[in-house]
């Protein structure tokens, strides 16, 4: 199995070095590079012949903040999955980062095991959301309900099958696992995934989970 390739963007040198050491000590994960800000990250990626599978990045960095950087990455390198690792636990910021294309959001007080789990789960399923992130999205949706995209705003309502697949996606099941559960082909499930992205206006799998929480298809207790 090929190792998961990681690049790190973090302006605090000591913290960045600690994450690099953690990554380098973990079997099955390979560190490609590390930079202190978003501007240098984009320059590194544009000049690189090998792109990371996952970017671990801080929310607050000089030159370019997390929101601006995630939007730029989505435009130029949509295949790279983003894990935000930040001191900020604001409900609004978490929801905004997921909306902007992040696949996972962790607060910096998380432990080593959760970071490794987030990396592996994001690589396998396209997202990782712990209870804190899901609750933050749910609370943010309650506070800004009028501005959030709902089923009524979607191009068309989800079919029962699409809703069923969406909820299985929220359970971190892969397309193959969903196919086996519903007795469908993996190709059919992938087709439903594409339709879900189009109908919900989501950028990635994490966006689908965000949509499910906002529309109360998924309840966090």
Kindly report the CATH number that applies to the domain delimited by 145-214. Answer: 1.10.10.10
Q: What is the pLDDT of residues 53-66, one digit of tens each?
A: 999 999 888 888 88
Is the domain 4-140 a CATH 3.40.50.150 member?
Answer: no
Contacts with 215 (C-beta within 8 Å, 6 or more apart), sequence order: 150, 151
pLDDT of residue 146: 52
pLDDT score of 17 = 96
Q: What is the mean pLDDT of each run of 10 residues along the chain (221 residues)?
A: 94 95 95 95 94 95 88 93 92 87 93 96 92 84 60 65 93 91 93 91 89 82 60
Domain boundaries, the chain: 4-140, 145-214
Asked if residues 69 and 46 have their Cβ atoms less than 8 Å apart, the reply is: no
Q: How far apart are CA 138 and CA 210, in angstroms?
A: 8
Q: What is the tens place of the pLDDT at every residue in 35-55? A: 999 999 999 999 999 999 999
Query: Is the Cβ–Cβ distance between 51 and 45 less than 8 Å?
Result: yes
Predicted local distance difference test score (pLDDT) of residue 42: 95
pLDDT, tens only, 178-191? 999 999 999 999 99
Coil, strand or helix at 193: helix
User: Looking up tokens 């302006």, which residue turns up?
Assistant: 11
The helix, strand and coil proportions of the chain, stated in percent and rounded to the nearest 5, come to 55, 15, 35
pLDDT of res. 152:
47
pLDDT of res. 132: 86
pTM over 0.95: no
Q: Compute the distance between CA of residue 145 and CA of residue 153 in angstroms, rounded to an integer.
A: 12
């Amino acid at each position: 199995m090929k190792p998961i390739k990681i690049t790190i963007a973090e302006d605090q040198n000591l913290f960045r070095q600690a994450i690099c050491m953690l990554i380098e000590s973990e079997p099955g994960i390979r560190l490609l590079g590390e930079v202190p800000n978003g501007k240098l990250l984009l320059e590194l990626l544009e000049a690189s012949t090998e792109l990371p599978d996952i970017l671990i990045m801080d929310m607050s960095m000089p030159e370019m903040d997390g929101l601006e950087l995630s939007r730029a990455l989505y435009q130029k390198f949509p295949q790279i999955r983003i894990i935000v690792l930040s001191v900020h636990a604001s409900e609004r910021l978490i929801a905004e980062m997921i909306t902007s294309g992040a696949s996972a959001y962790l607060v910096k007080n998380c432990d080593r095991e959760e970071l490794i789990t987030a990396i592996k789960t994001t690589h396998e399923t396209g997202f990782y959301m712990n209870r804190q992130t899901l609750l933050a999205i749910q609370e943010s949706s309650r506070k800004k309900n009028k501005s959030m995209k709902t089923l009524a705003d979607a191009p068309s309502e989800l079919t029962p099958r699409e809703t069923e697949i969406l909820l299985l996606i929220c359970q971190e099941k892969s397309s193959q696992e969903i196919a086996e559960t519903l007795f469908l082909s993996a190709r059919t499930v992938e087709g439903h995934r594409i339709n879900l992205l189009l109908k919900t206006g989501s950028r990635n799998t994490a966006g689908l989970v965000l949509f499910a929480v906002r529309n109360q298809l998924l309840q966090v207790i």
